[in-house]
């Protein structure tokens, strides 16, 4: 499932092909994504210039003159970029093509949990869209710091791992990155969030930023042959500290890594390095 780093890498890959460019044509071959792709999308977008491509959480926000195109990769989505003249014929999972300037951007999504929605300016600030309004702060926003993490977790009795995954304090800490961040911060994943003191909040905020930043860098190194984020398991599968390493020795202390299930998601941790 594409996580925030994959979406940010996608944004960086698309950005030079779309910013300041005009939408020349739109082809919708399949409207049935998580929500129906608007039938009027070609009429809404064609001829408009894309001013900016932003990301909020795992949503890409394509800012046009008349509104914002909101896209999400769901479980298995990916944008591919082709030179317009050299795009291959669409396959059965290639649901939407956007021809922007000289490029053809193709949305592929085998499982169709992704989304492509239009939010006109007249409907108000896109930040207040129901999909966006309740998201936590961005991990690289200066407002995400130890003080915010500490105050936001005071009432939370749930384990810190699940509070991170909920995404209402900080966005982007998906399952892999939650395990990795807690490992680096030395915090046990079952620790009730409200018991974290200021020093541990400081370490955790720093770990979240570092883990996501590294993932984006690793993903960014694949930009040269950017074709896909589809089915990506995250960029940490090769050199994760704990993720998917049950039974293997901790890279810090040698203790076997353990696996537990929280909220139906696998959590990996070192019982010695990570304390409650």
- Return residues touching Zn ion (CB under 5 A): 250, 252-253, 255, 270, 272-273
Instruction: Return the structure tokens found at 211.
Output: 């883990």
Coil/strand/helix, residue 155 = coil
Q: How far is the CB of 257 from Zn ion (least distance, A)?
A: 8
Tokens 């409207």, located at residue: 31
Report yes or no: 129 and 119 within 8 Å, Cβ to Cβ: yes
Task: Indicate the residue whose CB is closest to Zn ion.
Answer: 250
In whole angstroms, give the CA distance from residue 7 to residue 20: 20
271 catalytic? Reply is no
CB of 263 to Zn ion, least distance (A): 24
- Cβ closer to Zn ion: 148 or 242? 242
- Residue of 3, 6, 8, 180 with catalytic role: 3
**CB of residue 173 vs Zn ion: minimum separation in angstroms?**
21
Tally of CA atoms within 13 A in the half-sphere of 95 that contains its CB: 27
> Is 189 one of the catalytic residues?
no
Residue 80: CB atoms within 10 Å: 21
Which listed residue (11, 55, 58, 209) is catalytic? 58
**Which residues are paired to 242 by β-bridges?**
none
d(CA 145, CA 203): 10
In the three-class reduction of DSSP (H, G, I as helix; E, B as strand; rest coil), residue 118 is classed as strand
Structure tokens at 16: 């030079």
Q: Which residues contact 224 (CB under 8 A, 6 or more apart)?
A: none
Active-site annotation holds for 161? no
Least distance (Å) between residue 212 CB and Zn ion: 22
CA angle, 231 as apex, 106 and 103 as ends, to 5°?
A: 20
Minimum separation from the CB atom of position 242 to Zn ion (A)? 8
Q: What is the DSSP string of 197-213?
A: -HHHHHHHHHHHHHHHH
The two three-digit tokens of residue 271, written as one number: 């019982």
> Is there a catalytic annotation at residue 3?
yes
Q: Which residues are catalytic?
A: 2-3, 58, 265
């Amino acid at each position: 499932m594409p996580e925030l780093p994959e979406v940010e890498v996608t944004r960086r890959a698309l950005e030079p092909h779309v910013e300041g460019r005009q939408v020349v044509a739109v082809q919708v071959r399949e409207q049935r994504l998580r929500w129906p792709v608007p039938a009027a999308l070609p009429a809404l977008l064609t001829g408009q210039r894309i001013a900016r491509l932003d990301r909020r959480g795992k949503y890409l926000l394509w800012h046009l003159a008349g509104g914002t195109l909101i896209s999400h990769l769901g479980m298995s989505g990916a944008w591919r970029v082709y030179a317009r003249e050299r795009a291959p014929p669409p396959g059965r999972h290639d649901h939407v093509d956007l021809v922007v300037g000289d490029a053809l951007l193709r949305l592929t999504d085998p499982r169709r949990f992704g989304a492509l929605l239009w939010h006109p300016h007249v409907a108000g600030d896109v930040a207040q869209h129901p999909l966006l309004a309740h998201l936590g702060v961005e991990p690289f926003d200066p407002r995400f710091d130890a003080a915010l993490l500490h105050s936001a977790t005071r009432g939370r009795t749930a384990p810190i791992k699940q509070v991170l995954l909920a995404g209402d304090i900080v966005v982007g800490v998906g399952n892999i990155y939650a395990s990795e961040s807690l490992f680096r911060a030395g915090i046990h994943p079952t620790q009730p969030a409200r018991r974290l003191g200021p020093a541990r909040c400081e370490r955790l905020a720093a770990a979240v930023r570092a883990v996501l930043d590294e993932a984006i860098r690793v993903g960014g190194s694949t930009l040269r042959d950017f074709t896909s984020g589809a089915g990506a398991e995250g960029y940490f599968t090769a050199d994760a500290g704990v993720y998917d390493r049950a039974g293997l020795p901790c890279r810090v202390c040698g203790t076997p890594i353990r696996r537990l299930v929280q909220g139906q998601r696998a959590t990996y941790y070192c019982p010695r390095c990570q304390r409650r």
